[in-house]
């Protein structure tokens, strides 16, 4: 039995009822057919209702769901011919950040993303998707390669944040992210970014300066984790749900704040209930924006990106 | 009331009097005459510890007297998220900070001259909400970079910040991309960008414009780093040495060009600018 989230209880109970009805055999089976159909319909409706009305904190839980598709799933389900490229040419090959050539439909692209694992073992190897400086430097190297090959860059964001470790500090975590922000502003090919799970602060933005920024409907993107914010501003991590609300970290909030361009809908029940369908939705939107961006000249592309980021923020003059 | 119990106000008056005359060095703990401390640019005359200084004090000791012209000084925070935490609404914090500092944002920007060389400057002030990077500060840093770009003059930026401002959520994070975009554009016209990292330069500010100067300079002992010490200690389950994330540590690891004492900063900046041959 899969671990359920608190708010998913009604869904799981209905699912159990459906299973039970399905297991009924013999003469009565036909009598149940109608009931079963109705119940299944209700289940879908209830799922949609619950998932359409998640609180920010519940969204955080979905975004971090242990079965939520990871970068490898998207590589497999959206792209073909992934040719992984390794290393930052300075220090090492960060397994928390992957990248390489890939084909989307007929389009050749450079694909880069944070890579979480599927189980504990893989997560340990991939450092739970928390990249070190060499990860960000590998990402930048691949973006520059994309520029040379004149192919668009697509980045997938799913990280708690950049790794906060002694070694990461020594090798310049801050500089690595800062360098990416600076260079990405001027990269001469289109950049499309998709936040698929957790968009954890600078660690997310480090590969997130896109011409187009998209979010899955139950992903989050925040300047600080709700837990971090709660422990600083409320002096108590148990206020995380409150912080999650105050920080406005859902796709809908970010769309309203003008930070992202489009929300990609997830199937009712969340991306983890139907990774294939989720991938299809992402693919559709990526193709749409690739087409749109490919019509722009290089100078127009860069100017538009500059204007986009210059207009971010709200203040009083 | 017994003679040995002092009322709160008596005690406060006495402490305040003490504060008016004495400063205690954060490093060597020596008591210093406040006037001596101020005359020494808020640097401990005994051990060389660099205390914080305000944005206008920094401008005063860096730019040629009378040359500073402030720009965009009316930009101030709004409250895009209607943010309230345990201590109350963000708007109240902003007002308290504005009142306390006389500033509208965590950064002061403008133009001036260093030994006759025209420059655009941005100077962060830690007193304003911990020097945090909000939408207003990001805008001012960008506009100062744009001024440098339009007028083809070097850009000098003094950081003093705990990082991005949580109260403006994702919009604060986006200021990192915005300010870096501004700084990145200077390369097109080969305009020098000098980053001066002062105590502290951490989090989102270290991970954006502060670390990507053509030249990175820091003041001695300044705290410079990405993640907080406590977070790292929890991650690696080890105590970190005192020298961790100091300017000297960052210099040793190759991310700074030099560590320069406050009293020598202006001269150093001038020397560097004198190599700019355009």
A157 assigned to some structural domain: yes
Secondary structure element (H or E) that encloses residue A305, with its range: helix A298-310
C-alpha A33, offset from chain centre: 39
Is residue A143 within 8 A of residue A153, CB to CB? The reply is yes
Could A178 and B209 be called an inter-chain contact, meaning their C-beta atoms sit closer than 8 Å? yes
User: What ipTM score was computed for the predicted complex, to two decimals?
Assistant: 0.94
Domain hosting residue A193, numbered range? 59-310
Per residue in B142-169, pLDDT (tens digit) is 999 999 999 999 999 999 999 999 999 9
- Integer Cα distance of B230 and B239 in angstroms: 9
Q: Are residues A114 and A207 in the same domain?
A: yes
Contacts of A179 in chain B (CB under 8 A): 211-212
Q: To which residue do tokens 């490093």 refer?
A: B27
Q: Does A64 touch chain B (CB under 8 A)?
A: no
Is the pLDDT at A24 greater than 90? The verdict is: no
- Integer Cα distance of A8 and B227 in angstroms: 35
Could B238 and A166 be called an inter-chain contact, meaning their C-beta atoms sit closer than 8 Å? yes
Q: In total, how many domains does chain A have? A: 2
Could A259 and B204 be called an inter-chain contact, meaning their C-beta atoms sit closer than 8 Å? no
Could A305 and B181 be called an inter-chain contact, meaning their C-beta atoms sit closer than 8 Å? yes
Q: What is the pLDDT of residue B9?
A: 66
Secondary structure element (H or E) that encloses residue A264, with its range: strand A262-264
Is the pLDDT at B207 greater than 90? The verdict is: yes
Q: Are residues A80 and A45 in the same domain?
A: no
Is the pLDDT at B88 greater than 70? The verdict is: yes
Mean pLDDT value across residues B20-48? 93
- What's the CATH number where A152 sits? 3.90.226.10
Mean pLDDT of chain A: 94
Following CA atoms B137, B139, B145, B148 in sequence, which dihedral angle do they give, to the nearest 10 degrees?
A: -110
Is the pLDDT at A1 greater than 50? The verdict is: no
Express as a percent the part of chain B with pLDDT over 70: 94
Burial B210-225 (b: 16+ CB within 10 A, else e): bbbbbbbbbbbbbbbb
Is the pLDDT at A140 greater than 50? The verdict is: yes
Mean pLDDT value across residues B30-34? 92
β-bridge pairing B69-70 and A97-104: unpaired
Q: Check residues B10 and A49 and name the one with the higher pLDDT.
A: A49
Q: Are residues A216 and A260 in the same domain?
A: yes
Q: Are residues A84 and A231 in the same domain?
A: yes
Per residue in A261-311, pLDDT (tens digit) is 999 999 988 999 999 999 999 999 999 999 999 999 999 999 999 999 999
Most B CBs within 10 A among A168, A174, A191, A205, hence the mutation to make, goes to: A174
A&B contacts, CB < 8 Å: 202
Residues with Cβ < 8 Å from A144, sequence gap 6 or more? A183, A187
Per residue in B98-135, pLDDT (tens digit) is 999 999 999 999 999 999 999 999 999 999 999 999 99
Q: What is the pLDDT of residue A268?
A: 87
- Among A245, A277, A273, which Cα is nearest to A264's? A277
A285 assigned to some structural domain: yes
Q: Are residues A236 and A278 in the same domain?
A: yes
Mean pLDDT value across residues A169-174? 97
DSSP three-state, residue B40: coil
Q: Are residues A16 and A81 in the same domain?
A: no
A264 assigned to some structural domain: yes
Is the pLDDT at B13 greater than 80? The verdict is: no
DSSP letter at B28 equals: T
- Integer Cα distance of B260 and B264 in angstroms: 6
Q: Which member of A209, A314, A317 has the closest CB to residue B171?
A: A314
Chain A (154-183) residues lying within 8 Å, Cβ to Cβ, of chain B: 162-166, 168-175, 177-179, 181-183
CA distance A80 to chain B (A): 31
A204 assigned to some structural domain: yes
Provide φ and ψ at B273, rounded to 5°. Answer: -60, -30
Structural domain spans, chain B: 1-49, 52-276
Instruction: Count the Cβ atoms, other than its own, within 10 Å of residue A219.
Output: 29
Secondary structure element (H or E) that encloses residue B9, with its range: helix B8-21
SS (H, E, C) B206-263: HCCHHHCCCEEEECCCCEEECCCHHHHHHHHCCCCCCCCCEHHHHHHCCCCCEECCHH
Mean pLDDT of chain B: 94
Q: Does A246 touch chain B (CB under 8 A)?
A: yes
Q: What is the pLDDT of residue A210?
A: 98
C-alpha B215, offset from chain centre: 17
Fold classification of B52-276 is: 2-enoyl-CoA Hydratase; Chain A, domain 1 (3.90.226)
Q: What is the pLDDT of residue A32?
A: 77
Is the pLDDT at A152 greater than 90? The verdict is: yes
A316 assigned to some structural domain: no
Q: What is the pLDDT of residue A17?
A: 85
Q: Are residues A22 and A80 in the same domain?
A: no
Express as a percent the part of chain A with pLDDT over 70: 97
A7 assigned to some structural domain: no
Q: Are residues A40 and A72 in the same domain?
A: no
Q: What is the pLDDT of residue B122?
A: 98
Is residue B170 within 8 A of residue A222, CB to CB? The reply is yes
**pLDDT band at A5, cuts 50/70/90?**
confident
Q: Are residues A49 and A65 in the same domain?
A: no
Per residue in A85-111, pLDDT (tens digit) is 999 999 999 999 999 999 999 999 999
**pLDDT band at A161, cuts 50/70/90?**
very high
Is residue B106 within 8 A of residue B131, CB to CB? The reply is yes
Q: Dmax of chain A from CA atoms?
A: 76
Is the pLDDT at B15 greater than 90? The verdict is: no
């Amino acid at each position: 039995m899969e671990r359920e989230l608190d708010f998913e209880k009604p869904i799981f109970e209905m699912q159990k009822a459906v299973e039970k009805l399905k297991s009924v055999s013999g003469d009565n089976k036909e009598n149940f057919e109608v009931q079963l159909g109705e119940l299944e319909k209700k289940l879908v409706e209830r799922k949609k209702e619950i998932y359409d009305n998640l609180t920010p904190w519940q969204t955080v839980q979905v975004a971090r769901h242990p079965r939520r598709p990871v970068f490898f799933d998207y590589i497999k389900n959206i792209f073909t011919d992934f040719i992984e490229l390794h290393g930052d040419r300075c220090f090492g090959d960060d397994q928390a950040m992957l990248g390489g050539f890939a084909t989307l439909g007929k389009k050749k692209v450079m694909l880069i993303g944070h890579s979480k694992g599927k189980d504990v073992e893989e997560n340990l190897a991939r450092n739970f998707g928390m990249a070190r400086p060499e990860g960000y430097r590998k990402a930048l190297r691949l973006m520059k390669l994309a520029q040379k090959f004149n192919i668009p860059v697509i980045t997938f964001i799913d990280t708690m944040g950049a790794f906060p470790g002694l070694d990461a500090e020594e090798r310049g975590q801050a500089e690595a992210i800062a360098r990416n922000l600076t260079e990405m502003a001027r990269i001469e090919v289109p950049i499309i970014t998709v936040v698929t799970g957790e968009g954890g602060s600078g660690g997310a933005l480090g590969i997130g300066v896109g011409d187009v920024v998209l979010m899955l409907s139950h992903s989050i993107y925040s300047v600080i984790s709700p837990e971090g914010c709660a422990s600083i501003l409320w002096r108590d991590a148990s206020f995380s749900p409150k912080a999650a609300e105050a920080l406005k970290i859902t796709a809908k909030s970010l769309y309203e704040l003008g930070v992202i361009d489009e929300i990609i809908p997830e199937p009712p029940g969340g991306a983890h209930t139907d990774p294939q369908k989720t991938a299809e939705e992402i693919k559709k939107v990526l193709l749409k924006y690739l087409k749109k961006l490919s019509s722009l000249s290089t100078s127009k592309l860069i100017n538009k990106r500059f204007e986009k980021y210059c207009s971010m923020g709200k203040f009083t003059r | 009331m017994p003679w040995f119990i002092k009322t709160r106000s008596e005690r406060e008056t006495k402490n305040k009097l003490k504060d008016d005359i004495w400063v205690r060095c954060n490093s060597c703990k020596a008591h210093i005459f406040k006037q001596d401390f101020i005359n020494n640019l808020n640097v401990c005359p005994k051990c060389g510890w660099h205390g914080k200084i305000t944005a206008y004090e920094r401008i005063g000791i860096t730019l040629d007297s009378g040359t500073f012209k402030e720009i965009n000084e009316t930009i101030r925070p709004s409250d895009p998220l209607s943010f309230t935490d345990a201590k109350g609404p963000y708007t109240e914090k902003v007002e308290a900070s504005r009142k306390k500092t006389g500033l509208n944002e965590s950064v002061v920007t403008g133009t001036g001259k260093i030994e006759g060389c025209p420059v655009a400057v941005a100077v962060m002030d830690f007193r304003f909400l911990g020097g945090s990077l909000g939408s207003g500060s990001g805008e001012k840093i960008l506009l100062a970079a744009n001024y440098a770009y339009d007028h083809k003059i070097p850009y000098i930026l003094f950081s003093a910040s705990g990082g991005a401002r949580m109260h403006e959520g994702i919009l604060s994070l986006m200021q990192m991309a915005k300010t870096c975009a501004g700084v990145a554009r200077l390369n097109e016209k080969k305009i020098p960008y000098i980053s001066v990292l002062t105590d502290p330069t951490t989090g989102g500010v270290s991970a954006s414009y502060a670390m990507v100067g053509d030249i990175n300079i820091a003041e001695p002992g300044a705290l410079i780093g990405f993640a907080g010490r406590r977070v790292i200690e929890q991650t690696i389950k080890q105590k970190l040495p005192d020298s961790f994330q100091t300017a000297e540590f960052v210099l040793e690891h190759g991310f700074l060009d030099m560590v320069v004492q406050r009293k020598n900063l202006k001269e150093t900046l001038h020397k560097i600018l004198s190599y700019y041959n355009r």
